[in-house]
Homo-oligomer: A and B are copies of this chain.
């Protein structure tokens, strides 16, 4: 990863053959950008991961249908309305969004993918959408990445994008990505959208395998409020403009590519938690010593999602007792007398009892903008990491 850190930049530089734009179509108030378009001049190999919620937005259903069989030319995304719980009419609206985009760009209708984010249960204002797409199409440009990233935001306070440069077959390649997060965020896909673009050539199966692996380690390990949304979508376009020998596991640059993908998804995932609705602190939960990895996951997520633990982080009192409580009601096996809890490198509890660390030292850690809670259950070799944030009054205000 060290080699890659040098080439990850926080801006967004579109890979060869990609254009984008973001405009204010009128779905959101105050003339805020709310419609984004990503376009590839050449057909792109597609991969995607989607919400596990049984209630799925129309756009998720559409993308799932197309992802395996269709090459992609464009993604059209609106914020301000989720097009979820909108039934057959909502499905027609999603298809119509693809159709208008396809007509404007002169590509096949089924090469257009569609994403929506916003309020559930309200039909899209299709006149506004249609006019917006027609406005957006001629505006796609090589410089439009930032505008697109801005247009997919909902309650995000910061634009989230990044770019990694790497080499494939000795040629320079680019991976660029953007995401939105903020609320309804929970491991196993959040109310989040993320779009990855690269100019390398790669086989579809390999692209999907690489994406799924990276999502599992990043977006599936963050939580803001434990609510999983109806619209979560990650889409990955690879348009082959580098002209490399298509990537697959046996390719000598496979590792460079997968490292780039992992770096990008982790970068965006951590930005999402840090910018969770009302969040002021990024908290990493490192769980070790569980009976097995399933238990490790259950225990880490119980802590990461406990409302009492999360509200305690909003203050400065290191309330490790609430962490013990959450471990105890998790479905993981816990033996109270073996549990160690550290705040960064200082012990708060050892063998389930208060450690002699001065309270002021633990408070200093909890006052930081980012800290790590390490928990060792001392029952086995199971490990898990989950990224969470504090729950503040601002979270409630946003969601009232």
Binding site for B on A (CB under 8 A): 52-56, 82, 84-87, 119-122, 183-184, 186, 225-230, 306-308, 311-312, 314-315, 319-322, 324-329, 333-337, 349, 351-354, 391-393, 395-397, 399-400
Contacts and interface: CB of A to CB of B under 8 A. Distances in A.
Contacts of A328: 53-56, 228, 230
B227 A308 contact: yes
A311 B400 contact: yes
Contacts of A353: 85-87, 121
B311 A399 contact: yes
14 contacts: A54-B335, A54-B336, A55-B327, A85-B352, A225-B307, A226-B306, A227-B322, A228-B325, A228-B329, A307-B307, A311-B399, A393-B396, A393-B397, A396-B396
Among A307, A312, A354, A395, residue most surrounded by chain B Cβ atoms (within 10 Å): A307
Contacts of A351: 87
A55 B121 contact: no
A307 B87 CA distance: 26
Integer count of this chain's copies in the complex? 2
B306 A121 contact: no
Nearest to A353: B87
A85 B55 contact: no
Contacts of A184: 308, 325
Contacts of A333: 54
B121 A336 contact: no
B334 A55 contact: yes
Contacts of A354: 85, 121-122
Contacts of A325: 53, 55, 84, 120, 184, 227-230
A339 B397 CA distance: 29
Given A183-B308, A225-B307, A311-B395, A321 B54 contact: no
A321 B399 contact: no
Contacts of A53: 325, 328-329
**DSSP class of A's interface residues: helix, strand, loop or mixed?**
loop
A326 B184 CA distance: 10
Contact of A326 (B82, B227, B308): B227
B391 A396 contact: yes
Given A86-B353, A183-B308, A315-B399, 20 more contacts: A54-B336, A55-B325, A55-B329, A84-B321, A85-B324, A85-B352, A120-B321, A120-B325, A121-B324, A122-B321, A122-B354, A225-B307, A227-B306, A227-B307, A227-B308, A228-B328, A229-B325, A230-B324, A311-B395, A315-B400
Nearest to A231: B325
Contacts of A336: 54-56, 85
Among A53, A324, A400, residue most surrounded by chain B Cβ atoms (within 10 Å): A400
Among A86, A119, A325, residue most surrounded by chain B Cβ atoms (within 10 Å): A325
A53 B306 CA distance: 14
B54 A226 contact: no
Nearest to A330: B54
Among A227, A314, A334, residue most surrounded by chain B Cβ atoms (within 10 Å): A227
Contacts of A335: 54
A314 B400 CA distance: 6
Sorted nearest first, the 4 A-B pairs with minimum C-beta distance are A120-B321, A55-B328, A315-B400, A311-B399
Contacts of A119: 321
A183 B319 CA distance: 15
A343 to B, nearest CB: 13
A311 B396 contact: yes
A349 B85 contact: yes
